[in-house]
Amino acid sequence: MIQKLSDFYVLNNGVKMPGFGFGTWQSASGDTTVNAVKAAIKAGYRNIDTAAAYRNERSVGEGVRQAMEAYGIRREELFISTKLWNDHRGYDLARKAFENSMKELGLEYLDLYMIHWPAVAKWHEDWREINRSTWKALEELYREGRIRAIGVSNFLAHHVQALMEDGDIAPMVNQIEYHPGFGQIESAQFCQDHGIVVQAWSPFGTGEVLRNPVLTQIADRYGKTSAQVCLRWLMQKDIVPLPKSVHEERILANTQVFGFELTADEMAQIDAMPYCGGMRFDPDSARS
Residues acting as catalytic residues: 54
3-state DSSP of the chain: CCCCCCCEEECCCCCEEECCEECCCCCCCCHHHHHHHHHHHHHCCCEEECCHHHCCHHHHHHHHHHHHHHHCCCHHHCEEEEEECHHHCCHHHHHHHHHHHHHHHCCCCEEEEEECCCCCCCCCCCHHHHHHHHHHHHHHHHHCCCEEEEEEECCCHHHHHHHHHHCCCCCCEEEEECECCECCHHHHHHHHHCCCEEEEECCCCCHHHHCCHHHHHHHHHHCCCHHHHHHHHHHCCCCEECCCCCCHHHHHHCCCCCCCCCCHHHHHHHHCCCCCCCCCCCCCCCCC
Contact between 245 and 238 (Cβ < 8 Å): no
CA dihedral sign, ordered 209, 210, 211, 215: positive
